[in-house]
A and B are shown apart, each in its own frame.
Chain A
Amino acid sequence: MSFSLTAVGMVHPNGQRALAGVTLAARDGERIAVIGPSGAGKTTLLRVLGAALRPTEGEVQVLGAKPWQLPAAALKKLRARIGTVHQSPPIAPRLRAVTAVLAGRLGEWSTLRALGSLFHPSDIAGAHEALARLGMEERLFERCDRLSGGQLQRVGIARVLYQRPALLLADEPVSALDPTLADAAIGQLVAQSEATGATLMASLHAVDLALRWFPRIVGMRGGAVMFDLPAAQVTPGMLDALYASEGGVATQRPLPAGAAVEAAFHRPDCP
């Protein structure tokens, strides 16, 4: 069991309810996409799973532990095994891409190694490999404030690939990428999950991406799970109901049939 939520509810301090009675579990290595309209509670759900937010109701279990019953040191170790791709990459602009990627393993490294790596990157090859998987290897020594939004988002993904977490959470990981790049980036996250056996849970705006890459789809609306089904059983009617009053289902541009399985990058942004 990778994680399990039992009747989890979350009311933010300002009184706004973000989650209501969410019960959800995942086996090790499972790949789940969370879809739903804006404000459905997708980000809150991922933050609860990442042990970054303590729910006000219900029980959380992640990677075999109850995070909020652990002592501080054990909680820190647990967090080091969870990797999160944030929607807007929280990377200090003055860091170089190599340092930003290596920061993925700060939870694992000793403080001494972390500080030393600021003077000379301690694993240039590892950062290069992670960036290369996203077609960003040429930007290895570029400062992050020189990168475009889409490139920065890929640095954020590379950081988590380098971290090699046991639970990989991704919150709108490809929102700043064009359809081709988005498809390849999701492909890399899926490949990581297959190679390391990590559980992958991603929230996505583009429903077709979710259906193409993820065997299991969780539909959320108003802080509650509307459906939790294998991708093949999700019908257009369900999606219409999920996104009702949102102006229809969000999709990407249709891709050519072969592109979905092709992991190589076309890199329209850097010719």
Chain B
Amino acid sequence: MSAAVALRDPRATRRLAAWTAALVIAWPMLALSEFKPWALFGSGNLAVIGGFLAGFFPPDGSPAFLALLFKATLETLAMATAGTALALLIGAPLGFVTTRALSISRIGPGPGRVQAGIVRQAARWLLMVLRAIPEIVWALLFVRALGLGPASGVLALAITYGGMLGKVYAEILESADTRPARALLEGGSGRLAALCYGLLPNTAQELASYTVYRWECAVRASVVMGFVGAGGLGQLMDQSMKMLNGGEASSILLVFLALVLLADLLSSALRRLLA
């Protein structure tokens, strides 16, 4: 009798409850977002979609458009790269400040714990503010201040992506094995040295591939920002869509495919290098 009780998983009930709760919460969300995939196959809808897609073929390959496309691609790449680089400059220091993995005052715990906690929390809030406002809003703001062109896109990306990078960097550093860094801090080493000797060797791969992934996102985000006048492929896409030129639009999409492929290659090359 008692053996039967001992063999029952004591957490089974709690797990079942958690799954049930998740379903109960998820259902109204689907309802709220009007998620009705079957509507896609309703009368006439498929024909409309088909007609829209048919306009995309064949992709436009005229030299004049290709020259325009090339210039816009370079602009987008420059915007994404500069934006991600600036975001790195914002995110890396804030992530370094925010992460609990490099806290000296938590050892013991020692002196200055309250102050350090306040600084960490302030940096966390700053990161939250930076990424809470979508890049498109920043872009709209900067287009008004700086005029049309990629510069406003760069700034918008730097601010929002800086917030994202900082948060994720801090969390990657915390989820790695923090004992090497902690041992160094316990031996009186500084935070930056403990980061470089204790944490970066284990996390460089993760950090690099997340940064490249963010660069890839920045390439995509630059499209949306192009719609509000921040230049690059997005602005070109906007014009093509407005003129209902599906061939041009599909050429642009092919370029996107190539850019994402490039990001993927870059990421795996970096991971191999850092392995």
Contacts and interface: CB of A to CB of B under 8 A. Distances in A.
Interface string A100-124: 0001101111010011001000000
Interface string A42-60: 0000000011111000000
Contact of A52 (B107, B180, B190, B199): B107
A106 B189 contact: yes
B110 interface: yes
B240 interface: no
A108 B187 CA distance: 10
A86 interface: yes
A13 to B, nearest CB: 11
A17 interface: no
Interface in B189-220: 189-190, 192-194, 196-199, 201-202, 204
B61 interface: no
A84 B186 contact: yes
A167 to B, nearest CB: 12
B184 to A, nearest CB: 6
Interface string A62-76: 000001101110011
B198 A83 contact: no
B111 to A, nearest CB: 5
Interface string B87-111: 0000000000000000011011111
A72 B108 contact: no
A67 B199 CA distance: 26
A118 B197 contact: yes
Instruction: Find the residue from A54, A71, A114, A163 having the highest chain B CB count within 10 A.
Output: A114
Assign chain B's interface to a size class: 20 to 34
Given A92-B198, A94-B202, A75 B192 contact: no
A209 interface: no
A76 B35 CA distance: 57
A241 to B, nearest CB: 34
Nearest to B109: A54
Contact of B187 (A70, A84, A95): A84
Contacts of A81: 188
Contact of A68 (B108, B177, B183, B197): B108
B179 interface: yes
Given A90-B180, A104-B187, 4 more contacts: A68-B110, A70-B111, A80-B189, A118-B197
Interface of A: 50-54, 67-68, 70-72, 75-84, 86, 90-95, 99, 103-104, 106-109, 111, 114-115, 118, 163
Interface of B: 104-105, 107-112, 177, 179-180, 182-184, 186-190, 192-194, 196-199, 201-202, 204
